[in-house]
Amino acid sequence: MIEISPGWNRYWRALCPDYRSVDYPDFDICRDRTDDQYSIVIADQVLEHVQRPLAAAANIHAMTKPGGWAMIATPFLFRVHARPHDYNRWTPQGLKQVLVEGGFAEDGVLVSGWGNKACAKAHIGGPVRAAVAAIRTGTLVEIGLGLTAILMVSIFGMLDPSGSD
């Protein structure tokens, strides 16, 4: 088993005697791969940070033994968090397409999404809260928020502009 993560996640070490880890971004999954193949490849909270996700998916595929498993987790509704950059968010169908284009067989890719309003609210943080405050006070233009924060408030309705959120 190998885990590619930002360096903070070592949960699997206690469960797997043959655990190995590499830390992103020092191990850049877009250009780096190991010579070995593994029965399990875990890419936990990495794909949103890579500039070339198709190359990363191809390298994950190359490191996975035939008949092995690649376990990939990446956020959808989560604040921007540059480590060192933050490039991507996918729907389950979008992530499946990235993996298929990276070499995984379409019928072998199982994807799911989870989360809820409380989860999203806990993670959207400063920019969206600032947008809601700006909407409440009528100063939205003055604070210069990006479109993503505005869309999260208006389309997803994560925060109630009335203040009862």
User: How far is 114 from 73, CA to CA, in rounded Å?
Assistant: 11
pLDDT, mean of residues 1-19: 80
CA of residue 150 relative to chain centroid, distance: 21
Query: Per-residue pLDDT tens for 96-147?
Result: 999 999 999 998 998 877 665 655 565 555 444 554 455 455 444 433 333 3
Q: Are the C-beta atoms of residues 126 and 111 closer than 8 Å to each other?
A: no
pLDDT in tens, 151-161: 333 333 333 44
Does the pTM exceed 0.85? no
CA distance 45 to 48: 7
Task: Return d(Cα 76, Cα 110) in angstroms, integer.
Answer: 17
The domain locations on the chain are 2-108, 117-154
What is the second-level CATH architecture of the domain 2-108? 3-Layer(aba) Sandwich (3.40)
